[in-house]
Structure 1
Amino acid sequence: MSERPDDGFAPAIDAHVHLFPERLASAIQRTLTDAAGWEFEYAIDRPSMESTLVDAGVERYVALPYAHKAGVAVGLNEWLAAEAADSDRLIPFATVHPDDDGVGEIVREAFEAGARGLKFHCPVQECAPADPRIESALEVAVEYDRPITYHGGTAPMYEDDPNVGADRFAEVVESFPDLRVNCAHMGTYEVDAFVEMAREHENVYLDTTFAMSTEAEEIMGFDPSSIDDEVFETLSGSIMYGSDFPNIPYPYRAERAELLGRDLSAETYRDIFYRTAIDFLGLDD
């Protein structure tokens, strides 16, 4: 499916993409369909995904794995590193499960193999952002100056989960002040609290994934217009574009359309769609 880029979008970095072995990717999508009724139209193999992203104007993308159980992280990290070796667009992150043996060493090996950061899906992995079981992983991330992306908010179906929310996220911000941390989905449904955290701490980032889609209100009951333009203008150095591709139950274009429909400055758009991700990832432009 062609997704021609819109003015102001390309070249872009998509900071929130999911690439898994196809059997696991299919299982994840089936779980989302069962839980939320979402249906997915995009292919899940890397060449097809990259074709869609390139057509959309995406120059590079961050692939975020997450281990749903102990014992699978090493294999996922190795698989994603091999996929990255065959792509000039893929920026791999690493995963580890809190119940793995040698949590810190697993992360260290992944970073040595080229992983640019670390991903935790707090509800799926049943761990808070500063969970003592992953403390050694966070320490390795600080040592290697690698960022962490968390699913740390309560959207779209985790409002009763004890591992997520602004208060739990604040724990990792306070405990690891030298660690760059990103809360996906703009921290929905506690956007105001996460925005304030980003204002107060230069190491706190947010990504726009799902929350700023034109379909956000219908899909997850969040109104993107509730976030004022001022937030993006003043925090453009802390907010970066993401999509959740290919696990989106709507056209890829919807992820950027709401943002591009705003009257934001060209500098703000360049930050959101490109420069902030460069900074978060610690890459040379």
Structure 2
Amino acid sequence: MRTEQERRAADDRERVAALRRSLGLTALVDVHTHFMPERVLAKVWAHFDQAGPLVGRPWPITYRQEEEQRVETLRGFGVRAFTSMLYPHRPGMAHWLNDWAAEFAERTPDCLHTATFFAEPSARDDVRRALDQGARVFKCHLQVGGFDPTDPVLEPVWGLLAEAGTPVVTHCGSGPVPGAFTGPGPIGAVLDRHPGLRLVVAHLGAPEYEDFLSLAERHTHVMLDTTMAFTPFIEDMAPFPRAALPRLADLGGRVLLGTDFPNIPYRYADALDALEATGLGTEWLRAVCHDNAARLFGLASWNPPANRAGPA
């Protein structure tokens, strides 16, 4: 007899599988998932548990599992590729975080090798080294890092990433709590100097949704990820303006699925249901959940182990 936890997990998988079937997809690509060294993740979870100053409200972690189980949970949802978003909150962390991420990607072939950086003198060398190690995507967290993206030490970093064509998923919106350098202004100034930068705006830029839509409309390489967007949890704090839905639809080729797994206070399927409830249609949702990211990362010919696509 299955336990309650096992029943909920099976229901979770079936709900995700049902959505995939409705979209004609055998798999998903999630560009905003978190894997990091256990001691770092424990501190992140403690911050959420305490509703810390960068959280601002109770935030229970739904998928509080061991690393291997978290990986298998994503695979069970049919996620064919995911990231290991990690980020430093002080100088001196990026180098060893990137080493950990390189090792994690090596032993987890369905993970898109992820790296990070901080505004410090070593930033250019850290990014160059991570690119040489094979990093395919970077994470930049302006809220947690508390640094100015226009800091001169980051100028060569943005240049390197733009030249390499490597996407950088950036928490630059002011949710859930504003930071000194969040909002469209600072990162917009970076884009003005580096228009070729493949910037992925996390959380659709919440709560400055329309400002970040404008940024994407002005800069053809700017993308947005859907992390937490439209869920009741985020709508309670920062509702997406329904009048802006047509603009989001028009940018459909540059919108990517993100979830914040495992650090979400609801089920994975809830995030997908919330996207479906926008009414933007099957083609838009199929592109968001798979096709856009598959194109961005060249996944059409990328084949992780056959049993890792999850149930059809």
TM-score by length of 2: 0.84
What is the rounded CA distance, in whole Å, between the counterparts of 2:76 and 2:242 in structure 1? 30
- 1:154 positional shift: 0.4
Q: Which moved more, 1:273-282 or 1:49-58?
A: 273-282
Point out the more displaced range, 129-138 or 2-11: 2-11
**8 Å Cα contact 1:233-1:265 kept in structure 2:** no
Q: Secondary structure of 1:123's partner? A: helix
CA shift, 1:94, in A, is 0.8
Q: Secondary structure at the match of 2:31?
A: strand
Larger mean CA deviation between 161-170 and 223-232 belongs to 223-232
Matched with 1:48 is 69
Structure 1 residue 85, shift from structure 2 partner:
0.9
**Match of 1:183?**
201
Which residue does the alignment assign to 1:25? 41
State the identity %. 28
What is the distance in 2 between the residues matched to 1:126 and 1:229? 31
Report matched runs for 1:131-146 at 5 Å: 131-146=151-166
Q: Where does residue 65 of structure 1 map in the other structure?
A: 86
Amino acid at match of 2:188: A
Determine the structure 2 residue equivalent to 1:104.
124
Matched, 1:198 2:205: no
Q: Which residue in 2 is equivalent to 1:215?
A: 233
Aligned to 2:279: 263
Give the aligned residue type for 2:117: V
1:12-69 CA-to-partner distances (Å, cap 9, x unmatched) read: 1111011111111010111122223211131354321122112222111122111111
Of the candidates 176, 182, 190, which is equivalent to residue 164 of structure 1? 182
Structure 1 residue aligned with 2:111, among 85, 90, 96? 90
What is the aligned partner in structure 1 of residue 136 from structure 2?
A: 116
In 1, Cα distance between the equivalents of 2:119 and 2:299?
A: 28
- Out of 136, 146, 150, the residue aligned to residue 130 of structure 1 is 150
Correspondence 1:240 to 2:256: yes
Offset, 1:172: 1.4
User: Which residue in 2 is equivalent to 1:147?
Assistant: 167
Q: Any runs of at least 4 consecutive aligned residues in structure 1 with deviations exceeding 4 A, and if so which?
A: 282-285
Aligned residue type for 1:104: R
Note the residue ranges of structure 1 that are not aligned, 5 or more in a row: none
Give the match's secondary structure for 1:110. Answer: helix
Cα RMSD over matched residues?
1.9
Q: Which amino acid aligns with 1:157?
A: V
| Change in 2 beyond 3 A, CA 1:227/1:29 | farther
Structure 1 contact 149–181 (Cα < 8 Å) conserved: yes
Q: CA deviation at 1:84?
A: 0.9
Question: CA 1:74/1:45 → structure 2, altered by over 3 Å: closer, same or farther?
Answer: farther
Q: Is the 8 A contact 1:13 1:59 kept in 2?
A: yes
The answer (yes or no) to whether the contact 2:229–2:275 under 8 Å persists in 1 is no
Q: Is the 8 A contact 1:111 1:117 kept in 2?
A: no
**Size of the alignment, in residue pairs?**
280
Question: C-alpha deviations, 1:75-128, integer Å up to 9, x for none?
Answer: 1111111111111210122112212x4211111111111111221110211113
1:263 deviates by 3.0
Q: Does 209-218 or 86-95 show the bigger shift?
A: 209-218
Cα 1:284/1:55, change in 2 over 3 Å: closer
Partners of 2:200 and 2:223 within 8 A in 1: yes
In 1, the alpha carbon distance for the partners of 2:296 and 2:150 equals 19
Of 31-40 and 177-186, the range deviating more from structure 2: 31-40
1:214-269 residue CA offsets vs partner (Å, 9 max, x unmatched): 43224xx1224636542343111111110011111111111111112243333212
CA gap of 1:189–1:107, structure 2 versus 1, over 3 A, is same
Secondary structure, in 3 states, of the residue corresponding to 1:237? helix
Distance 1:243 1:176 in 2: 27
Residue 260 of structure 2 aligns to a residue whose secondary structure is coil
Indicate how the Cα distance of structure 1 residues 263 and 189 shifts in structure 2: closer, same or farther if over 3 A, else same. closer
